[in-house]
Chains A and B, each alone.
Chain A
Amino acid sequence: MDPKLDDDALMIRTARGEEAAFRLLVQRWEHDVLAFLSAMLGSAEDAEDLAQETFVRIYRNAGNYRPEGMFRSWMLRIAGNLARSRLRRRRIIGWIPFDPTDHDVADQGAGPEAVLQAGQTSDLIRGALARLPDRQREALVLHRFQGMKYKDIATTMGTTLPGVESLIQRALAALRDELSRGDRMP
């Protein structure tokens, strides 16, 4: 990528008030932020709401951003903080966190049976994810849905490498146990 258009350069220009630079950043990252929030929250509506809030906060804090090549971690840290806050609020009011109808599994060239099965698997796993402790879910989602390495997850979540390894290990074991209970493993 041209360095004039990398994330740090766009953030510097966003801080100067250049709309086009900010728009390009949003365009570049909106899918990642939505996918992360959707997996964290289990609700497309909430994901879009918090994605909007994430980008608003990015804009408002553009002047404080340090261009050290860590934009994605910084952005997902903001999104993660917002998601955990929303999840805490849900628990207080007893909100049920997962709505399988929110997740649209489109035909990606596979036959209808495969699409149906993929949709059911996706719903199952997202339902099980919704029952994980927040930190475990966040680490696992960053790793498997965002493709982040443990080192970057540690930076994003403000923890250590062994901490990330432990979170993901426990998350995977909990998911396996949850899915095994209902005999829903393939």
Chain B
Amino acid sequence: MKHVTGHLAAYLGGELDQPTRALVDTHLAECAACRAELASFDQVWAMLDVAAAAPVSAGPGLWSGVRSRTVAVDPARVPWFFGRGPWTRRGWAAVAVAAGVFVALVLPGGTGPDGTGPTVLASSDSAGWLSSTWLDDTSNPGLAEQWMLAGLDSDGSAP
């Protein structure tokens, strides 16, 4: 029978269907070369398990970094003339800069525009309360889910 080395990773990972697995088992019982190959793969497999078990922990900055770039940016408070798309904002920013240069050059004593980018404001109202309750509490992973479930209305809307 043909060697089964091409199936050994899937064999170790439990990914072979039953007929293929039975064929591999039969071959392994007869073929010392494939058994040796399997044994060497098995050692790497065990080393991978050790490496995978090494803990990886999220630093406290992960959520605050994500939040500052997502939910803390309140699109409703971005002035309408900057639009919502990045190119719209960049376009209007360029127009504002050009207008500022024009004013500064043509109208002595004039002042330039005082803001050339979107106003990005952090919503501070709910954030402080949320983070003081469960958002930053990692000691009880189920707490957040319990809190949300308790607060859900019957129609599934948020508290």
What residues on A are CB-neighbors of B148 within 8 Å?
4-5, 20-21, 24
> Residues 163-186 of chain A: 1 if any B CB is under 8 Å from the residue's CB, otherwise 0?
001101101110110011000011
Q: Is the CB of A52 within 8 A of B65?
A: yes
Report the minimum CB–CB distance from B58 to chain A (whole Å).
4
- B141 near A: Cβ within 8 Å? yes
Residue among B50, B57, B70, B127 making CB contact with A122, cutoff 8 Å: B50
B55 touches A56 (CB 8 A): no
Q: Could you tell me how many residues of chain A have their Cβ less than 8 Å away from some Cβ of chain B?
A: 63
Interface 9-mer from A28-36, A66-74, A85-93: A28-36
Pick from A56, A121, A129, A149: contact of B66, CB below 8 A.
A56
Set of chain A residues within 8 Å of B149, measured between Cβ atoms? 2, 4-5
Please determine whether A150 and B56 come into contact, CB atoms closer than 8 angstroms.
Answer: no
| B contact residues, range | 35 or more
A180 touches B40 (CB 8 A): yes
B109: Cβ under 8 A from any A Cβ: no
Contact A4 B127 (CB under 8 A): no
Say yes or no for B22: interface residue by CB 8 A criterion: no
B62 contacts A150, CB within 8 Å? no
Does B10 have its Cβ within 8 Å of any Cβ on chain A? yes
CA distance in complex: A122, B47 (Å): 7
A118 to B52, CA, bound (A): 11
Interface presence of A103 (CB below 8 A):
yes
B47-A179 in contact (CB<8A): yes
Give a binary string over A1-41; 1 marks a CB under 8 Å from any B CB, 0 the rest.
11011000100010001111111101100110011001100
A4 adjacent to B156 (CB under 8 Å): yes
Contact B145 A5 (CB under 8 A): yes
Q: Which residue of B lies closest to A172 (CB)?
A: B9
Separation of A163 and B63 alpha carbons in the complex (Å): 35
How far apart are A156's CB and chain B's nearest CB, in angstroms? 15
Q: Which of A105-137 contact B (CB under 8 A)?
A: 105-106, 108, 118-119, 121-122, 124-126, 129
Which of A2, A20, A35, A176 has the most C-beta atoms of chain B within 10 angstroms of its own C-beta?
A20
Beyond A30-B63, A39-B52, A125-B47, 7 additional contacts (C-beta under 8 Å) are A23-B144, A48-B58, A108-B55, A143-B13, A165-B9, A169-B6, A176-B43
Chain B contacts to A: CB under 8 angstroms: 6-10, 13, 15, 40-41, 43-59, 61-63, 65-67, 69-71, 126-127, 130, 135, 138, 141, 144-145, 148-149, 152, 156, 158
What 6 pairs across the A-B complex have the smallest Cβ distances?
A59-B70, A125-B51, A169-B9, A122-B51, A19-B71, A144-B48
A-B contact pairs, 26 of them (CB 8 A): A4-B149, A4-B156, A20-B158, A21-B148, A23-B130, A30-B58, A31-B57, A48-B59, A51-B58, A52-B66, A56-B69, A106-B55, A118-B54, A125-B47, A129-B51, A144-B52, A145-B48, A149-B15, A165-B10, A168-B13, A169-B7, A169-B10, A171-B9, A172-B9, A176-B40, A185-B43
